[in-house]
Amino acid sequence: MSRKVELEVAPEEAGLRLDQLLAARIPELSRRKARVLLDIGGVFVDGHRIKIAGRKVRAGQLIEAVLGGALEHASGDVGRAARERDEERLPEFAVVHQDDDLVVVDKPSGLLTAPTPESDRGNLAALLERRLGTQVFVVHRLDLETSGVLCLALTSAANRALSLRFRTHDLEREYEAVLAGRLEPDTVDVNEPVGGKHARTHFTVVERIGDVATRVRARLETGRTHQIRLHARHLGHPVLGDPRYGGGAEPRPPRMALHAALLALAHPRTGAPLRFESPLPPALEEWLIGLREAAGRSTLAP
């Protein structure tokens, strides 16, 4: 979880370097750590992301520092070499489709889709732009720990068309998830607002693993932030490996047990049908094998 610290530059602090101010006002930041936070893009001055440690501050300026996992995982240095070392530790992603209008990626768990207030470093969009040598438009996102198929646009026109399809949900999306406990019945719809907006998810049981876990397919009728995770919690069966919404108990998976398994939509320019599927990642498959053995039984839903 990230934490935002908001500061106003006092008159007596005018003229200080930005890294000096951060180190003086935020107890957990040394000058060196403040420079790392600036380098990864976690500092905003009057709403603008600033990375220059030596920038002099003025009285009355509003400073926002976003502290979280990006700072914890960053190397303790700054500059291009530090960025390259950080990126070398990121999990690999696979491009499964690319044409003149869009690119579809199988995103691994542990890779951000796009820049966040914490950092503009080491995310899928930035890595793709560097690899493809062109601008990439983020159409939709998968959470950091969620893996699976993800679509990004390569032109402004495709971005507009795809964004409209995602906004009106003129497409098909299904996720695989492993929920805590034994979910009954075989199918259940959750129609519960998320963030004050209409949200609906259709859950279908694939497999019950004793009484400890239930493997499901979750089909989205809407696409709200954390919708599946919140709706699973609403059912009283949170996604395993999701400590934010109550899925942090045993049996603990190697990562959050949520995977974007299917994305089907019309091509933004030609209208041709596109369909992409991604199998459950090996780490989760191996964990499920062990879970079945430990539970002693597994029942496939009809």
- Would you name the residues annotated as active-site residues? 143
Side-chain half-sphere of 154: how many Cα atoms within 13 Å?
A: 18
| Euclidean distance between CA atoms 288 and 260, whole angstroms | 17
d(CA 207, CA 268): 36
Cβ(142)–Cβ(98) below 8 Å: no
Separation between Cα atoms, residue 262 and residue 293, nearest integer Å: 28
- What are the residues whose beta carbons fall under 8 Å from the beta carbon of 43, sequence distance 6 or more? 18, 22, 37, 49, 50, 51, 63, 64, 65, 66
The token duo for 202 is 């259709």
Determine the Cα–Cα distance for residues 153 and 160; give it in Å rounded to an integer: 9
Encoded amino acid at 85, one letter: R
Identify which of 14, 9, 20 has the alpha carbon closest to the alpha carbon of residue 45.
9
Give the C-alpha separation, 234 to 179, whole Å: 12
Residues 6+ apart with CB under 8 A from 60: 8, 9
